Amino acid sequence: MSHPLLALDETTPVIVQGITGRMGRRHAALMRSYGTNIAGGTSGRSDGAAVEGIPVFANCRDAVTATAAVASIAMTPPLETLAAATEAFEAGVRVVVTVAEGVPVHDALRLKDVARAHEAVWLGASTPGMAIPGRMKIGFLPDIALRPGSVALISKSGTLSYEVGFRLARHALGTRIFIGVGGDSVKGVRFGDLLEPLLDDAATKVIVVIGEVGGTEEEEFAERLAASPTDKPVLALIAGREAKEGVAMGHAGALTYGAMGTLRSKHDHLTRAGARVLSSISGLVEAALHCDPATREARLHALLRR
CA distance 150 to 170: 14
Q: Give backbone dihedrals phi and psi of 239, rounded to 5 degrees, phi first.
A: -80, 150
- Helices 105-117 and 81-90: crossing angle in degrees, nearest 10, is 0
- Helices 293-305 and 281-291: crossing angle in degrees, nearest 10, is 90
CA distance 192 to 201: 15
CA distances from 244 to 35, 213, 238, 249, 253 (A): 43, 11, 15, 9, 16
Using only C-alpha atoms, what is the Rg of the chain?
19
CB 97 within 8 A of CB 123: yes
Identify the H or E element spanning 22.
Answer: helix 22-34
Could you tell me which of 246, 243, 113 has the C-alpha nearest to residue 186?
113
Identify the H or E element spanning 279.
Answer: none
Q: Residue type at 170?
A: R
CB 212 within 8 A of CB 183: yes
CA distance 138 to 37: 10
Catalytic residue among 3, 27, 118, 251: 251
Is 251 noted as a catalytic residue in this protein?
yes
Annotated catalytic sites, by residue? 251
